[in-house]
């Protein structure tokens, strides 16, 4: 299958290893990956912070960039949620009928990485090897917007050598919340600190998730508390190979 | 402009772009349940820590007397139209007792309008054998007789049987509060003891309660 | 602490203070944890729960979309049944009507059933000014009133107090209570019963709200637990109910949905102990006079907003508060309103206006948009959607005034405008990151980055972005 990668601006800039892992997994499964070079940002930060008007050109550029792609895959549940659930709203705010039509065309073709693997590629065993104790945090947008359900865990369980342990109170938000992490940093840190305590209780070496943004927040707290627990996007675990 | 006109005017202008065709309400929720409703009712009322007693209709006076004796209730008031043989020595609420007199009475015995099995609720509608609302409120003990044929399965069935223009009191267990650390504690301002006597139920209690789509935990 | 909400600071500031109160956090975690479990259990019992939620949503939408018609129908039916209907544009008008009615009844005190509407209009304060004493009779409201405190939860206004604190308040404020009182909840409840008993039996006037008002029958509904509601609705001669105009349901049959959704969502019970319904006055049974005050107080403004309107579906169950991770940590006072938690964050700025005071514009931002509230709301209010919508309103209201945040957002928008510009930004981030980095981590930073970096490290941005890697393959 020919798959267009939407890397997301955040992963592009700060977590290129995640994108590389996505490419490795997809190619290992025999898919052709293309990277439309004009892509920038889905507009989530602007939209969620109240700058809906500023979001309009970003949505326009997104639909132009991916107009020709049959299948778009992104390693971020929250960006996919933004595209699928809210690009339509941005188009509505803009009052541009053409944009609304383009969004209606493009948005449904955009899939989160684990969603693509399980639902479209039809695999749960991607041939990965990762001999570590891992716990998985279902991020809120993956859980409640995209309703990823058990897909990520199904993929992780099929990884050879993995010791996947349950995270207590897993469905509780980690406290990141985009600009919430800065605007309400005290509450954000309080929530994140509780998440850290639960992660530590599992004895896991690695905390994984389908969103690097949440991992950056929890990982930042772990690092500040001098914990040795690493955070790692799920794609990087699925890309793991023997030797 | 009066407040009334102004508010209605503001509503109309707020809704000027809204489609005024009536939104259809889909009612795809359960209307009925199957199984032994009397048994389920008894179980659910008991869940609220009310006392539940089942008796054959012809033994009702004895069953009531036993409960009054058990809880040490000596002064009893009843609605004027409650069958006299149910509680032979009761005072009746005719002419209506004043509040202090009600407050000095140990308990009240009434009938009810409807029982709801799924929620363990009894509903009083001030109809036959139930009296006015204050009667079942001020005394600290309430014994309510429910005929087995008054028990319906669900809230929708109860709503269909009840007349909304009568003053209704829905009772699910004794007075309670969850206001301290969200734990339920029985016994605040309403009657602290609730006894529900189910009359005319079959003598034999079936082993299990069968329910169709609403499952018990 | 005063009884009113005037001058509340922005949410982040109030939240910071609340977070420092460890007792508060322990109390909240315990209470919300308990209620979450109970709700989940009784909801799981119902295979048709989603169908009930859909019906609940549709009933309220039907109400809101034809609100004028249903209000007029309600008015006709209440009047025909012997009640008197009053209309109040705002809090001051509603308070004035209540005061006049109490004076007309020749009373100088009232007993009150817990009601959000009367808290919202700060009726108790208005009555006090008019020389009328108001006695709260709901246990949690009593705790708040005796503690000279403010409510912090819709259902359990004293949720921030644990049993030991409640005992202390009773000991201090309740006449006749002695050291022998323990902190056993049953004993505390018994003390409240003894304290209020005489008030109930002698009060001439009661003030209530209503959970529902049925247009086609003229019936008012109060859902409660303790029996204080029954006392107030039944024993006094005069009953005054202050009811928001959005509390209507069109038909008697609609109650079959609401009376299933509300108790399971709020106290986690199949049914609450007592529900009272009354229509006008009934000779020989209950009050001789019934007054219904229909309250606007900002509701029509919310009604005019296509997305914000859904907040008026709310049946005040408080399920959204109980699952909210922000509420659980800050408690209700930080929201600066009688409506705290997720519903407060979308209702308060609409009722007061998004720029009305310091706290209102910050409320839509008091959420991570995690969506836990939407998942439990019995009338399917998409709270995250409304939050984001109101954020935009808050931002738009300040357009034209200088703002560092907007400047930053504009800059970001410009960089995201093309991939060429994005590359420039990426180089800046990589270079800047390496300058700030120590041993592969960026630690505490000053200025606008303090909020992020105060407690969190950041990994040094990599030298190569994904796209440069991709091009070099
Ligand atoms: S918004 Fe929904 S969940 Fe929250 S109090 Fe209102 S009805 Fe309940």
Do β-strands C109-112 and C205-208 pair in parallel, antiparallel, or remain unpaired? Answer: parallel
Give the 3-state secondary structure of residue B180. Answer: strand
Chains with 3 or more CB pairs under 8 A to chain A: C
Give the 3-state secondary structure of residue B184. Answer: strand
Which phi and psi angles does C20 have, rounded to 5°?
A: -75, -10
DSSP sequence for A135-175 = EE---HIIIIIS--TTHHHHHHHTSBT-EEEPPTTTTS--S
**Looking at domain C3-300, what is its CATH homologous superfamily?**
NagB/RpiA/CoA transferase-like (3.40.50.10420)
Are B190 and C226 in contact (CB < 8 Å)?
Answer: yes
Q: Whose CA is nearest to atom 3 of ligand 1?
A: C377
CB contact residues (below 8 A), chain B span 156-175, against chain C: 156, 158-160, 164-175
* pLDDT at site C1: 34
Give me the interface pTM, i.e. the ipTM. 0.95
Output the six-digit token pair for B121: 């609720």
Are C392 and A181 in contact (CB < 8 Å)?
Answer: no
Output the six-digit token pair for A60: 């326009």
| DSSP H/E element including C15 | helix C11-19
Q: Which numbered atom of ligand 1 lies nearest the CA of C373?
A: 3
**Each residue of B86-139: pLDDT tens digit?**
999 899 999 999 999 999 999 999 999 999 999 999 999 999 999 999 999 999
Q: Rounded mean pLDDT of C402-412?
A: 86
* pLDDT at site C4: 61
CB C308 within 8 A of CB C360: no
User: For chain B, how many residues are written?
Assistant: 217
**Does the pLDDT value for residue A10 go beyond 70?**
yes
* pLDDT over 90, % of chain B: 80
C-alpha C225 to ligand 1 mean position (Å): 19
Q: Rounded mean pLDDT of A81-104?
A: 96
Measured CA distances, C66 to B7, C60, C293, C300 (Å)? 13, 10, 19, 13
- Rounded to two decimals, the pTM is 0.94
Spell out the domain ranges in chain C: 3-300, 407-472
- Chain B hits for C166, CB-CB cut-off 8 Å, are 180
Are C368 and A14 in contact (CB < 8 Å)?
Answer: no
Lowest mean pLDDT among A108-112, B17-21, C442-446: B17-21
DSSP sequence for C198-251 = HHHHH-SEEEE--SEEETTTTEEEEEESSSHHHHHHHSSSEEEEEEEGGGEES-
* pLDDT at site B206: 38
* pLDDT at site A8: 96
Measured CA distances, A238 to A74, A117, A234, B107, C366 (Å)? 15, 11, 6, 70, 35
- A67 near C CB under 8 A: no
C-alpha C381 to ligand 1 mean position (Å): 7
- Chain C hits for A43, CB-CB cut-off 8 Å, are 416
C-alpha C316 to ligand 1 mean position (Å): 5
Å between C465 CA and nearest CA of chain B: 49
- B1 near C CB under 8 A: no
The residues near A34 (Cβ < 8 Å, ≥ 6 apart) are A2, A3, A4, A5, A69
Å between A175 CA and nearest CA of chain C: 6
**Each residue of B12-30: pLDDT tens digit?**
999 999 987 777 899 999 9
Domains and CATH numbers, chain A: 2-120 (1.20.1050), 133-238 (3.40.50)
- Cβ < 6 A, ligand 1 pocket: C 154, 265, 314-320, 343, 376-379, 381
* pLDDT at site B213: 32
* pLDDT at site B184: 81
- A39 near C CB under 8 A: yes
Cβ neighbours of C218 (radius 10 Å): 26
CB contact residues (below 8 A), chain C span 84-143, against chain B: 86-89, 93, 137-140, 143
The residues near A203 (Cβ < 8 Å, ≥ 6 apart) are A133, A165
- C449 near B CB under 8 A: no
Distance, in Å, from the CA atom of B186 to the CA atom of B176, rounded to the nearest integer, reads 4
- Give the distance from CA A174 to its chain's centroid: 14
Measured CA distances, B24 to B12, C51, C54, C212, C308 (Å)? 21, 14, 11, 20, 21
What CATH number should be reported for the domain whose range is B30-214?
A: 3.40.50.10420
**Each residue of C275-289: pLDDT tens digit?**
999 999 999 999 999
**Each residue of C252-270: pLDDT tens digit?**
999 999 999 999 999 999 9
Give the 3-state secondary structure of residue C441. Answer: strand
Q: Could you check whether the bond before residue B95 is cis, i.e. omega within 30 degrees of 0? A: yes
User: For chain C, how many residues are written?
Assistant: 473
- A198 near C CB under 8 A: no
How many angstroms separate the most distant Cα atoms in chain C? 90
* Residue recorded with tokens 């206004």: C157
Distance, in Å, from the CA atom of C13 to the CA atom of C342, rounded to the nearest integer, reads 18
* pLDDT over 70, % of chain A: 100
**Each residue of C100-159: pLDDT tens digit?**
999 999 999 999 999 999 999 999 999 999 999 999 999 999 999 999 999 999 998 998
A113 or C198: which leads in pLDDT: A113
């Amino acid at each position: 299958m020919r798959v267009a990668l939407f890397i997301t601006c955040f992963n592009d800039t700060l977590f290129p290893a995640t994108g590389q892992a996505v490419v490795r997994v997809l190619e290992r499964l025999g898919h052709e990956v293309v990277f439309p070079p004009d892509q920038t940002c889905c507009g989530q930060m602007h939209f969620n912070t109240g700058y809906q008007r500023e979001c309009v050109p970003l949505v326009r550029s997104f639909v132009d960039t991916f107009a020709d792609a049959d299948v778009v895959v992104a390693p971020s549940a929250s960006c996919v949620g933004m595209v699928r659930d809210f690009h339509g709203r941005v188009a509505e705010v803009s009052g541009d009928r053409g944009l609304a039509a383009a969004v209606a065309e493009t948005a449904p073709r955009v899939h989160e990485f684990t969603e693509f693997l399980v639902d479209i590629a039809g695999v749960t065993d991607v041939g990965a090897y990762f001999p570590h104790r891992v716990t998985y945090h279902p991020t809120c947008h993956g859980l409640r917007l995209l309703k990823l359900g058990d897909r990520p865990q199904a993929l992780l369980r099929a990884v050879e050598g993995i010791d996947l342990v349950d995270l207590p109170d897993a469905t509780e938000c980690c406290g990141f919340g985009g600009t919430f992490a800065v605007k309400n940093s005290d509450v954000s840190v309080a929530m994140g600190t509780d998440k850290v305590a639960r992660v530590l209780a599992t004895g896991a070496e690695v905390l994984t998730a389908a969103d690097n943004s949440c991992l950056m927040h929890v990982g930042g707290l772990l690092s500040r508390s001098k914990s040795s627990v690493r955070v790692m996007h799920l794609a990087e675990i699925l890309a793991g190979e023997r030797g | 402009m009066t407040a009334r006109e102004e508010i209605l005017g503001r509503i109309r202008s707020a809704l000027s772009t809204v489609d005024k065709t009536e939104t259809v309400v889909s009612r795809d929720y359960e209307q009925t349940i199957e199984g032994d409703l009397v048994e389920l009712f008894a179980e659910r009322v008991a869940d609220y820590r009310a006392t539940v007693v089942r008796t054959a209709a012809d033994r009702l006076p004895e069953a009531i007397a036993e409960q009054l004796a058990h809880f040490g209730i000596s002064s009893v008031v009843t609605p004027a139209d409650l069958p006299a043989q149910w509680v032979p020595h009761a005072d009746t609420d005719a002419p209506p007792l004043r509040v202090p007199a009600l407050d000095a009475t140990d308990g009240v015995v009434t009938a009810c309008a409807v029982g709801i099995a799924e929620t363990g609720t009894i509903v009083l509608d001030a109809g036959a054998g139930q009296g006015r609302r204050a009667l079942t409120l001020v005394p600290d003990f309430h014994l309510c007789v429910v005929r087995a044929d008054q028990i319906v399965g669900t809230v929708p069935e109860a709503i269909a049987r009840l007349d909304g223009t009568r003053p209704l009191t829905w009772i699910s267990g004794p007075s309670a509060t969850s206001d301290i650390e969200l734990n339920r504690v029985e016994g605040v301002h309403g009657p602290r003891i609730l006894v529900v006597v189910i009359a005319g139920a079959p003598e034999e209690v079936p082993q299990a309660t069968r329910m169709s789509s609403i499952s018990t935990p | 602490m005063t009884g009113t909400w005037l001058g509340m600071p922005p949410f982040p500031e109030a939240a910071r203070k609340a977070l420092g109160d460890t007792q508060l956090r322990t109390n909240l975690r315990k209470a919300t944890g308990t209620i979450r479990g109970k709700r989940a259990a009784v909801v799981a019992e119902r295979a048709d729960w989603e169908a009930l939620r859909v019906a609940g949503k549709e009933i309220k939408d039907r109400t809101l979309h034809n609100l004028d018609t249903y209000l007029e129908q309600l008015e006709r039916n209440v009047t025909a049944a012997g009640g008197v209907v009053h209309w109040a544009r705002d809090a001051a008008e509603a308070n004035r009507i209540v005061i006049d009615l109490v004076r007309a009844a020749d009373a100088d005190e009232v007993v009150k059933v817990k009601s959000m509407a009367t808290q919202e209009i700060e009726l108790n304060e208005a009555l006090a000014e008019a020389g009328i004493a108001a006695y709260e009779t709901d246990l949690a409201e009593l705790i708040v009133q005796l503690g000279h405190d403010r409510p912090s939860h819709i259902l359990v206004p004293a949720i921030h107090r644990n049993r030991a604190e409640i005992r202390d308040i009773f000991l201090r404020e309740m006449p006749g209570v002695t050291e022998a009182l323990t902190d056993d909840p049953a004993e505390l409840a018994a003390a409240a019963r003894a304290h209020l008993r005489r008030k109930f039996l002698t009060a001439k006037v009661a003030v209530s709200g209503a959970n529902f008002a049925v247009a086609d029958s003229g019936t008012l509904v109060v859902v409660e637990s303790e029996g204080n509601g029954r006392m107030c609705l039944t024993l006094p001669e005069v009953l005054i109910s202050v009811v928001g105009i959005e509390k209507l349901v069109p038909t008697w049959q609609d109650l079959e949905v609401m009376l299933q959704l509300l108790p399971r969502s709020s106290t986690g019970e199949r049914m609450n102990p007592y529900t009272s319904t009354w229509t006008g006055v009934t000779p020989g049974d209950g009050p001789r006079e019934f007054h219904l005050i229909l309250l606007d107080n900002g509701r029509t403004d919310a009604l005019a907003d296509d997305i914000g309107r859904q907040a008026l579906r709310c049946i005040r169950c408080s399920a959204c508060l109980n699952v909210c991770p922000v509420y659980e940590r800050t408690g209700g006072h930080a929201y600066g309103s009688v409506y705290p938690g997720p519903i407060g964050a979308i209702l308060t700025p609409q009722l007061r206006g998004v720029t009305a005071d310091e706290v209102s514009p910050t409320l839509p931002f008091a959420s991570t948009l995690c969506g836990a509230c939407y998942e439990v709301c019995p009338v399917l209010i998409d709270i995250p959607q409304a939050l984001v919508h109101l954020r935009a309103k808050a931002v738009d209201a300040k357009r034209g005034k200088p703002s560092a945040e907007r400047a930053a957002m504009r800059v970001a928008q410009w960089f995201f405008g093309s991939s060429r510009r994005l590359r420039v930004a990426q180089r800046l981030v990589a270079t800047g990151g390496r300058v700030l980095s120590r041993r592969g981590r960026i630690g505490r930073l000053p200025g606008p980055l303090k909020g992020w970096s105060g407690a969190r490290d950041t990994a040094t941005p990599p030298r190569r972005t994904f796209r440069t890697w991709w091009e070099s393959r």
